[in-house]
Amino acid sequence: MIQAAIHNKKSENQMLRQQRGALIQAFLEDRSPDFILAHSRIFDTYFRERYAASLIGPKLGPTRNPCAIIALGGYGRQEQCVHSDIDLLFLFEKRVPPVAVQLVEEVLFPLWDLGLDVGHVTRSIGDCLDEARSDLENLTAMLDARFICGMSPLFTALESMLRKNVWAGKSDQIIHQLVAVNRQRHRRFGDSAHLLQPNLKEGHGGLRDYHTLLWITRIQAGVRTRRDLEYHGCLSHEEYTSLETTLNFIWRVRNHLHLLTGRKNDQLYFEHQEKLAQTLGFTSVNGLRPVEHFLGELHAGMTRLKNLGEMFLYENDLEKRSGRISASGKRPGHTGLVIEKGMLNFSSPEEMIADPELLMIIFLESARLRIPLTPEAKRLVRDFSYLVDDDFRKSPDVVNAFERVLTTPSGTFNALSEMLDTELLIRFLPEFKNIHNRILYNAYHLYPVDRHSLRVVRALRSFNTADDVTGCRLGADLYKETPHKKLLCWAALLHDIAKGDADGHHAEKGAGIAEKVLTRMGMPLKGIEIVTFLIREHLFLIHTALRRDLQEEETAIFCARRVKSINRLKMLYLLSVADSAATSPKAWNDWTAVLLQDLFLKTAKILEKGELASGQATRMLERKRAAVVASSTTDKDRLAIAKIVKELSPRYMHYVPAKAIAGHIDLYRSLGDRSHTWSITGAATRDTRTVTICTRDHHGLFSKIAGVLTLNRIDILNAQIYTWNNRIALDIFEVTAPPDPIFEQSKWEKTGRDLEAALTGQLDLPAVLTTRLAAYRKAHLPGKGNPPRVMIDNESSSFFSLVEIYADDFPGLLFTVTDALYRSGLDIWIAKIATGVDEVVDVFYVRDFDGNKIDSHRMEISVKQAIIRAVTAVDDNRTSTGALDA
């Protein structure tokens, strides 16, 4: 008997494994379009057969303590993905009997043996009612409940009692709970329709939005299946069709993600995206890489699902507490529009057909009143968008209305975003179609290009308001003063308009596209010139701030000559701040803000007062030397400091403030026989620290310091390397603050010990860093595998050669590059470490050991090859030799 049971168990295991394996193989070969339904049915059949063969189940009988097995959750909805949990309810009419444990073991043991995630509960009908009343999660599980086997009248009784005793009379309260939880989830998981690592289930635009819609309609209208959403009038035919298309695509992605990772998983991390794009059959199209094509389709679908969920909630007046500004006492300022349930609608479709300009006017009124369109109005905008023709686009009234929408501060509500959601923006600006749902596959752009462009507009409009997203006080002051807010907003909207072009150079091409758009709109030539200048140069300031030495007067002079006027500089600064802030936290942080403001102020000074003459510079240095000496309190001390000041190099004296010089001299005077002295400064509230190191100069010093900081997970953002006449090195590093403020002091103490060991030869940095570099081989962030590029610039600085390295970032990159520069016979004087707005680039100001620039073509080639060999050697899988750019 026991042997027969074991044999049956093994046979059932084998059969279930074979059935699932065959179904999964069919799915992989695109032969199972209804995979999740078929997968659910495999388990249905298994449970029915196991229950029928059970020794316990039949004994319970219809008269003793009837039992039924009920599917819950995704399994209850018959949406069983590859590695999703299988949730079951063993339902009893009366209290749960002791033999229920044996029944559960009989039914579930084979599944556990197969490693499947099976969750189960054993409850009576009374237990289920109590749990549904007390816990929303249990209630939603009951809403998804589906009978599998056992006594079906028991399940019917449970459904009836849930309706009568749980949500009858409390449906509004339960629905508002569902909406509140929905809103909290959106805040917790972010807007997956826009973030580039979306959560397919829990994020905004994920499957849980659909689940919420289904649960609400089950309570409101008795909906049982997805198909009922249309039959019960909850969705139109077009909306239901869109929902089905979107869900099927997300489920397909989710199942492939499960298979790729070998587990239940809903977070689409960067490391899986390229493989999924390949598996799903996406190809390059219109300049999009396969992964960008895939992500664009996914985000378009999740945006549709997000909009459908929001539209349903608004239409059923379920978002009263969403933070929307009340429409009480407000009136539309144009005939043909009405306010319904706090939202804007057309008086009738006939009014809109008779006056197509209402298609734009409704968004103007939406922006002015700060209330959304009704779902019906959005449907009408989509359905009648064919009325947007060339005459509509050129109409002065329409253009004026659009520009008012463009410039109206939005706060938490954004009419421009609704215009994009309804695709009226694309009809009005056909050029926008090329960037709609376009993904830039890297770690710095969190949003598709079209959404990013709208976020830049919003960031601009938020200056000098309570909703400021930049935290930039200077930007707020400049925006308040500028008379060209409209032109700035146009530049923000169109600054990336050419990123749909596969040929690159999007700033220059975007300026050309913008010129055509604005000419069509009837903008005066002077305004067009300003907007096209801003678009053409929108990366200029941020690139210069991140990649050039801001202490060199040449940098500010170069910027001033290119920008030409103080008004253009102010506008370009505002656009740069908004663009960076709208990109990601990696592109906009305290350090980036400081650099950009420093460049702006220095360039503005040149534009307002002219370039500094040599005589002025000499007098300034003399005054600074005197100030440093005078900072001492005794005559004896002043004599000692005056002697040290004579050892300070002119470059150091020119760029370092007098107060900082005094502090550096203190470090030097305490050096003695030690390997180094140092100081760490910076407010605990800021995310950067200034590390100043005083030591004896030697070749390769920067590389050692970079290695020590890498070893301690401290990122260098910027470095200024100074060598005094007495061969003392005074190196100033701007670095990221350690991640845990509680243990920051101990982190710096360990870093100091490592630096001591490295400088005295007791620490073999390359050997110690090997493990850290090996970890890179396992990392798969966006863009991994791109060949490194090296450029050498001998024109931008009179005193240094600039070595620019464009490469995928990884732990130890800085040490790898600086070690290669040292081995090439080059000293590093300035380093700009930029994980910038559009790609990672490190820039080094270098001279050879004799103090000369890289002045021969042969040496340029040698340096480039050395760097590329060093970087590519880190990853055994690299096959490219990199690019040697002139």
Of the residues 140, 168, 196, the one at which a domain ends = 168
Flag whether pLDDT at 49 surpasses 70.
Answer: yes
Query: In the predicted model, what is the mean pLDDT of residues 793-810?
Result: 87
**Residue 453 sits in the same domain as residue 532:** yes
Residue of 632 and 152 predicted with greater confidence:
152
Name the domain boundary from 588, 610, 642: 588
The verdict on 730 and 869 lying in the same domain is yes
Mean pLDDT of 155-180: 92
| CATH number of the domain within which 27 lies | 3.30.460.10
> Taking Cα atoms as reference points, which of 158, 49, 71 lies closest to residue 120?
71
According to the model, what pLDDT value does residue 188 have? 86
247: buried, middle or exposed (CB in 10 Å: 19+, 13-18, 0-12)?
A: middle
pLDDT digits (tens, 9 = 90+) for 441-491: 766 677 889 999 999 999 999 998 888 889 899 999 999 999 999 999 999
Final residue of a structural domain among 523, 554, 588? 588
- 540: CB partners within 8 A, 6+ apart: 559, 562, 563, 572
Q: Does the residue 517 lie in any domain?
A: yes
Q: At residue 773, does pLDDT exceed 90? A: no
- 46 and 194 fall within a common domain: no
What average pLDDT score do residues 828-857 get? 81
Q: What is the pLDDT of residues 644-659, one digit of tens each?
A: 988 988 888 888 888 8
Residue 38 has pLDDT above 90, yes or no: yes
pTM above 0.95, yes or no: no
96 and 206 both lie in a single domain: no
What is the structure's pLDDT at 323?
A: 42
**For the chain, how many structural domains are there in total?**
4
pLDDT at 571 over 60: yes
Q: Is residue 613 included in any domain, yes or no?
A: no
pLDDT bin (cut points 50, 70, 90) of residue 4 is: very low
The pLDDT value given to residue 288: 84
Q: Which of 357-371, 472-486, 775-789, 862-876 has the lowest mean pLDDT?
A: 775-789
What CATH number should be reported for the domain holding residue 220?
1.20.120.330
pLDDT at 392 > cutoff 90 = yes
Please report the DSSP string for 614-655 in residue order. HHHHHHHHHHHHHHHHHTSSSHHHHHHHHHHHTTS-HHHHHH
| Residue 877 in this model has a pLDDT that exceeds 60 | no
Task: Compute the distance between CA of residue 648 and CA of residue 728 in angstroms, rounded to an integer.
Answer: 9
Same domain, yes or no, for 401 and 543?
yes
Residues 293 and 401 in one domain: no
- Residue 818: which CATH number? 3.30.70.260
Q: Among 630-639, 739-748, 774-783, 818-827, which is the least confidently predicted range?
A: 774-783
Rounded to whole angstroms, how far apart are CA atoms 654 and 649? 9
Q: Is residue 612 part of a domain?
A: no
Is there a single domain that holds both residue 250 and residue 180? yes
Name the residue among 378, 457, 471 with its Cα closest to residue 419: 378
Q: Please, what is the angle between helix 290-315 and helix 270-279, to 10°?
A: 100
Round to whole Å and give the CA distance between 72 and 91: 12
Identify whether 23 is part of a domain: yes
Q: Given CA atoms 724, 729, 735, 737 in this order, what sign does their dihedral have?
A: negative
Average per-residue pLDDT for the chain: 88
The rounded distance, in Å, linking the Cα atoms of 336 and 346 is: 6
Confidence of residue 612 (pLDDT cuts 50, 70, 90): low
Domain shared by 195 and 117, yes or no: no
Residue 305: per-residue pLDDT: 94
Do 198 and 308 fall within a single domain?
yes
191 or 165, which is more confident: 165
66: left (phi over 0), alpha (psi -120 to 50) or beta: beta
Whether residues 164 and 192 fall in one domain: no
pLDDT confidence band for 414 (50 / 70 / 90):
confident
CB of 203 within 8 A of CB of 190? Answer: yes
Q: Is residue 148 part of a domain?
A: yes
- Does some domain include residue 120? yes
Rounded Cα distance between 721 and 701, Å, is 10
- pLDDT > 70 in the chain, percent: 91
CA–CA separation, 577 and 581 (whole Å):
6
pLDDT of the residue at 584: 78
Are residue 792 and residue 812 in the same domain, yes or no? yes
State which residues form the domain around 264.
174-315
- The mean per-residue pLDDT over the stretch 648-673 comes to 89
What SS3 class is residue 289? coil
Residue 868 has pLDDT above 70, yes or no: yes
pLDDT tens-digit readout, 717-758: 888 889 898 999 999 999 988 878 888 999 999 999 999 999
Query: For the chain, what is the radius of gyration of the CA atoms?
Result: 33
Q: What is the pLDDT of residue 752?
A: 95
Are 242 and 137 in the same domain?
no
Name which of 444-453, 535-544, 706-715 the model is least confident about.
444-453
Q: What is the pLDDT of residues 214-238, one digit of tens each?
A: 999 999 999 999 999 999 989 989 8
User: Where is 485: in which H helix or E strand?
Assistant: helix 485-494
Percent of the chain whose predicted confidence (pLDDT) is above 90: 59
559 falls within a domain: yes
Question: Does the pLDDT at position 879 exceed 50?
Answer: no
Domain assignment of residue 662, yes or no: no
Residues 605, 267: Cα–Cα separation, whole Å: 49
